[in-house]
Structure 1
Amino acid sequence: MNLGIENKVALVLGAGGGLGGAIAVALAREGVKVAVADINKEAAEKTVASIRELGGIAHALEWDLVDLDAIDRNLGAIGERLGPVDILVNNTGGPPPTPASGQDTATWRKYFDSMVLSVIAITDRVLPGMRERQWGRVITSTSSGVITPIPNLGISNSLRLALVGWSKTLAREVGADGITVNIVLPGRIATDRIQFLDEAKAKREGRAVEAVSAESTASIPVGRYGRPQEYGEVVAFLASHCASYVTGSTIRVDGGLIGNI
């Protein structure tokens, strides 16, 4: 299937590895020129190297999402190297495991800035160009915790849910401009982040990490953790012309894990 997005320009946040890296590669396979942003420049360069091995075009940026003053500078660099952003993939790092109560307000503010405010500010910056061209994609990766809150991920559950409300509201505002806005939810995808969470749970409960992983696997109908490339391919589809009538939606890539309708 030709997704019809060759030569479009994408900005993928948090693309130094894991889900973001898989998304960047999946888009590049479709001929998209990809700006690979990550707080770790070396990690971003590795993703860029993978894309160039495929014959794709990519540019790495060191981008700390807490620094809102960096937005114009980084978008300007993307414009000069690749062109204006047509596809924005909002993918941020997650906070450490914590209960919802008893967290310092500075901690809430730090992760609100990096996980929510940065996403909103970057999107606001690229929307005028998308409107002018009458075409755009805004895809935000969150967490299954926005549907079924995950124990001991209080900050993540709360802040990512705010992005769902924002995304669905934005979809109604920009739909007539040829712009789609969607949320994608990962289940248990085999990334370093999931390994970290499994290890943290094992330590907290005094169990072997293998036992925790086996328990999680048993709860997934397809019987395994997802592969990052499977997640990236779903995002690439949502970015395509083929998905032009999909907006304001929440798409699960979870192997059937989330039981709620």
Structure 2
Amino acid sequence: MDLGLAGKRALVTAGTSGLGRATAQALADDGAQVVLCGRDEGRAAAVAAEVAAARPVAGAVAADGAAGAVHGVGADVTAPADLERLVARAVELMGGIDLVVLNAGGPKAGGFEELSDDDWRAAFELTLMSVVRTVRLVLPHLRAAGGGAMLAIGSSSIRQAVPNLTLSNSVRPGVNALCRELATTLAPDGIRVNVLSPGRIVTPRLDALDERRAGLEGTTVAAVRERTARAIPLGRLGRSEEFGKVAAFLLSDAASYLTGQSLLVDGGMVTAL
């Protein structure tokens, strides 16, 4: 399905691995220009080159600034100055911004009694304030473009608490609530805002969480995942590219009448209404 993303200009924060990278890939595959960021400049550039090389041959355009071009920029989403530089660089590279993927690495794992005040502050900065600051910076550019779309990558924890992820369970619902408000206030500007949350999608983040869980339970990662898969109606863990394709759809004009929504890509795992 052609989503009509050719020529669209997309900024993807935390786009060097996992769901951010998968979303960047799906956008680039459909012809969007993409600027992705990661903490390490060299890695961001390398991932951008890999994303560009993996595009379907028919849609691959190598020239900077052309449809389908992919760029990597070093930026830490918890550093306000880095975000300012990232957005300015994205506008310089692409000539503007139409689409924004609001992503960040997951906050520290652990139960309530394991977490310090510093852990709570770090989670707030990483998960919520990175979104607040990014939105603040990109809004003038989305308005200048005549509208656009933003998509926050969340977690199934906004619907159903996940054991030993107290910080995610507590802070991510704030992102969800913020995006619902923004969807209403920005609708007159032609800007759509949605949240897409993964369930058990295989990523480096899930690898780390399952390794931790296996250690706590005295079992293996394979055993943890086998048990998890049995609890998912579709009977398996998800693939990052499955998430990325849904994200690209939500950012595209194919979803032009969809805003203020919080959707799950979880194989039916979460049954809470």
Give the alignment's TM-score, normalised by structure 1.
0.96
Could you tell me how far apart the structure 1 residues matched to 2:158 and 2:42 are? 31
Which one of the candidate residues 175, 196, 208 is aligned to 1:184?
Answer: 196
- 2 CA distance for matches of 1:132 and 1:35? 18
Alignment partners' CA distance in 1, 2:52 and 2:268: 34
Name the residue aligned to 2:12: 12
- Give the structure 2 partner of residue 105 of structure 1: 117
Letter of the structure 2 residue corresponding to residue 115 of structure 1:
T
Q: How far has the Cα of 1:102 moved from its partner?
A: 5.3
Give the deviation of 1:188 after TM superposition. Answer: 0.7
Cα distance in 2 for partners of 1:258, 1:42 equals 38
The one-letter code of the counterpart of 1:18 is G
Query: Among residues 109, 123, 131, which one is paired with 1:119 in the alignment?
Result: 131
- Residue correspondences, number: 261
How many angstroms apart in 2 are the aligned matches of 1:218 and 1:172? Answer: 38
Alignment partner, residue 167 of structure 1: 179
Alpha-carbon distance, 1:96 to partner = 2.2
Tell me the equivalent position of 2:159.
Answer: 147
* 4+ aligned runs moved over 6 Å, structure 1: none
Which sits farther off after the overlay, 45-54 or 237-246? 45-54
1:190-248 Cα shifts (integer Å, max 9, x gaps): 11111111110110111122111110011111111111111000000001111011000
Bigger mean CA deviation after superposition, 110-119 or 250-259: 110-119
The question of 1:257 aligning with 2:269 is answered yes
**Which residue pairs with 1:129 in the alignment?**
141
- Give the counterpart letter for 2:261 in structure 1: S
Q: SS state of the match for residue 36, structure 2?
A: strand
Note the alpha carbon deviations across 1:20-73, whole angstroms, 9 max, x for none.
111001000111100011113343233212232122311111111121122222
Amino acid at match of 2:83: I
Report matched runs for 1:48-127 at 5 Å: 48-53=48-53, 54=55, 55=60, 56-101=68-113, 103-127=115-139
2:238 match: secondary structure? coil
> For 1:248, what is the secondary structure of its paired residue?
coil
SS of 2:80 mapped into structure 1 = coil
| TM-score, normalised with respect to structure 2 | 0.92
Equivalent residue number for residue 21 of structure 2: 21
* Alpha-carbon distance between aligned partners in 2 of 1:28 and 1:5, rounded to the nearest angstrom: 8
Structure 2 stretches lacking a partner, 5+ long:
61-67
Farther-moved stretch of structure 1 (125-134 vs 168-177) = 125-134
In the alignment, the residues of structure 2 paired with residue 42 and residue 231 of structure 1 have an alpha-carbon distance, to the nearest angstrom, of: 26
